[in-house]
Amino acid sequence: MKKELVIEKLNGHDTSGVVGKISTQVGQRISTGDTLFTIESGKGVLTVKAEGDGNVVALLVEDGQKVTKGQIVGHLEYDSEIVSERVPQQTKATSPKAGAYNFGLSKPTKRKLHVDLAIIGGGPGGYVAAIRGAQAGLKVAIIEENRLGGTCLNHGCIPTKALVNSVSVLKNIRRAAMFGLEVPSVHINFTQMMARKNQVVDQLVGGIEYLMENHGIEHFKGRAKVESENHLSVENKQIDLTLSYEKLIIATGSKASFIPIEGYDLPDILTSLELLSLEEIPKSLTIIGGGVIGMEFAFIYRALGSEVTVVEYMPQVLALLDDDVIAVVRASADEKGIRIFEDARASSIKNTLNGQKIVEIQMDGKMHYICSDKVAMAVGRKANIDTLNLESLDVELNDKRTGIAVNTHMQTSNPNIYAIGDVTNIIQLAHVASHQGIVAVDHIGGGSHTMNYSAIPGAIFTDPEVGCVGLSEREAKATGIDYLVGKFPFAANGKALVMGEQEGFVKLIADATSRVVLGGAVVGIHATDLIAIITNFVAHKKTIDECAHVVYAHPTTAESIHESILMIDDRGIHFA
C-alpha cells in the first residue's frame, strides 16, 4: 500500500518547522515504529515514525529544510494496509488526501515490543539510565506520561534557577551605582521573565528528546500500566503498546506533599508547581515550610517585590545545615525583608471575605495570624509509589513505606526490577537520581558499582547560595569524632570583593587523626559551583596535606577553598 508522508501536525500551534535528523534513506526497508526523521519547531522536536513495515520510496526533504503543515515530504510503500481510522474533522476540505500518512489523528495502532530495558519515568533518573543503557548496547524503551525531563527540567531545578538568574540580574541592576553605573530605573516584566524560563525549559526538553532519538531509544508518551510481572502497557492517541522486557527500571519520581491542616485543600493553595507558573507577582505570599524549596522561592519572590513570610516548624530554616551557615542566609533574608517565623506550627488556612488568606500559626504557646494574598506549601515531596501496581511486580517498599526499597545496586526485591531517583526517597536530588540510574544500568550489564552517599553535594540557590557535601560540623559533633575545622571568609578573597559579594565563607571539616577531609560547606558567591572541589576531596578521601598542594588560579573565589584548607592548621595566607 502506497502512502504519502504528509505533515499534518507540528508541536503545539506551530505551523512550520525545520527537518532535524533524517534517519532513513530512499530504498531502505523500514519496520513499524522506526524513526524516519525529526522536525524541530519552536516548541520542541517531533519524531516522525513508520506506521508499518515497508520501504521508503521517496524523500522530498533534506536536513535543515524548512517545512510547513500540510506539506508532502515523502512517499512510503507499506507491505500491508495501515489501519488508521480517521476522525471526522479529517474529511474536511483542509485535510490531506485520503491515504496520506497520519500524524496523531488515527486510532491507536496496536504494537508489541520486546526490549532489553524498559524505563518508566523520563526525569533525570530515567532519561540518564536510558542513555547509559543505549550506550551499553541495550535495546531501550522509555515511557513518560508528561514531558521528558521530569520534575527537574519542567517544574523543579531548571525553571527555579532560571528565575533565580533573573532576580540575580535584577539585584545587580539595582546596585549598579556601586559599580559606577547609573541605571535610572528598572521595570520588572514578569511575563517576559516567565516566558524566558519556559523557553529555557523547552530548549532543554527538546535536547533530551533529541538525545533519545540519537541513541535509538524508543520513547513512548503515556502512563505505563503494569499488566503482569514482565509486561507493561501504554496507550496514547497513536499507539496501543504492549511492552515486554528483560529488565525494568522504575523512575517515577515524586510529587509535592501537603500537611493536612484545616484548609490545606483549598483550591488555590500553591505548591512549587504553581509558584513557577503565576501570571502576576503576588503582593504578599506566605510559604509554609522553610526548607530548600521554600527558601529558594522566598528569595525569588521577595526580590520581585512580594511581602514574603516563611513559617518553619523546626527551630531554624534550612535545618540540616550548620548553624553558622544558616546564620549567613538568615541574616541576608532579614536584611531583604523576608519575615521568618521558626519553631512555628501552621495550624489552619482560611479565606477572608476579600479573597485573601489567613494562616494561623502556633508559636511561643500562642496563636498568631498571617494575612497574605497567596499561600504556598513547601513541606517536602512524596515518592510516586502509587502510579504503578508495585505488588504485582513483587516490588517492596522501604520500612517506613515512603519509597521503593533498593540495595546498593538500586535493585528492588524483584531482581529484574530496579528503582532510582525520588521514588526511592533516599536523597531527592536530580544528580542523585541520575547517578543511581548509571549504577542500575551498570549492574544490569554485569558491573559491580554501588551507590555511595557519603559525597553527595547539595546546592541551595538562596541569596547567598549554599553548597554542602559530606559530614557537617553538626554531624561531626553528634558522632563524637575528633575533628578539625578550617574556615575562610569571602571578605578576605579578592575576587569576592571585586564582585561586591563579601558575605559568607568556605568551611572544611577533617578527621583530626587521619587528616582526611570529611565534608565542607560554602555559603556565599559561587557556592554551588565551588562545592564541586570539596566533593572531589571527600569522594577521593584526600588528606588536608594533599589538598594543600593543589594550586588555584588567581583571582578566583576558588582560592578560598585553598585558604580554608590552610586555616585548619592556622596557616591561612590572607586571614589571621
Q: What angle do CA 398, 399, 405 make, to 5 degrees?
A: 15
Residue 417 one-letter amino acid = I
Binding residue (CB under 6 A) for ligand FAD from 44, 125, 464, 470: 125
Widest pairwise Cα distance in the chain? 83
For this structure, is 554 an active site residue? yes
The yes or no reply on residue 310 touching ligand FAD (CB under 6 A) is: no
The yes or no reply on residue 412 touching ligand FAD (CB under 6 A) is: no
The yes or no reply on residue 223 touching ligand FAD (CB under 6 A) is: yes
Q: Which of 540, 554, 562, 574 is an active site residue?
A: 554
Stretch 181-220: interaction string toward ligand FAD, x if CB under 6 A: ----------------------------------------
Q: What angle do CA 439, 416, 431 make, to 5 degrees?
A: 25
Q: Are 459 and 465 in contact (CB under 8 A)?
A: yes
Binding residue (CB under 6 A) for ligand FAD from 126, 467, 486, 489: 126
The yes or no reply on residue 242 touching ligand FAD (CB under 6 A) is: no
Is the Cα torsion angle 200, 204, 209, 213 positive or negative in sign?
positive
Report residue 503 as a C-alpha cell. Answer: 558575605
Q: N- to C-terminal Cα distance for the chain?
A: 83
Residue with cell 494561623: 360
The yes or no reply on residue 146 touching ligand FAD (CB under 6 A) is: yes
Cα-based distances in Å from 273 to 112, 154, 208, 269? 35, 9, 21, 11
The yes or no reply on residue 293 touching ligand FAD (CB under 6 A) is: yes
The yes or no reply on residue 160 touching ligand FAD (CB under 6 A) is: yes
How far is Cα 367 from Cα 149, in angstroms, rounded to an integer? Answer: 42
Stretch 538-567: interaction string toward ligand FAD, x if CB under 6 A: ------------------------------
Least distance from ligand FAD to the Cβ atom of residue 185, Å: 31
- Window of 71-79, 399-407, 429-437, 557-565 that interacts with ligand FAD by CB under 6 A: 429-437
Q: What element of type H or E holds 212?
A: helix 190-214
Least distance from ligand FAD to the Cβ atom of residue 296, Å: 7
Q: Are 252 and 120 in contact (CB under 8 A)?
A: yes
How far is Cα 313 from Cα 326, in angstroms, rounded to an integer? Answer: 15
- Window of 94-102, 420-428, 447-455, 510-518 that interacts with ligand FAD by CB under 6 A: 420-428
How far is Cα 310 from Cα 301, in angstroms, rounded to an integer? Answer: 12
Nearer to ligand FAD, 84 or 306 (CB): 306
Binding residue (CB under 6 A) for ligand FAD from 24, 32, 41, 254: 254
How far is Cα 381 from Cα 386, in angstroms, rounded to an integer? Answer: 14
Task: Indicate which residues carry an active-site annotation.
Answer: 554
Interface residue list for ligand FAD (CB under 6 A)? 120-126, 143-146, 150-152, 155-157, 160, 223-224, 251-254, 272, 293, 384, 387-388, 421-423, 428-431, 433, 459
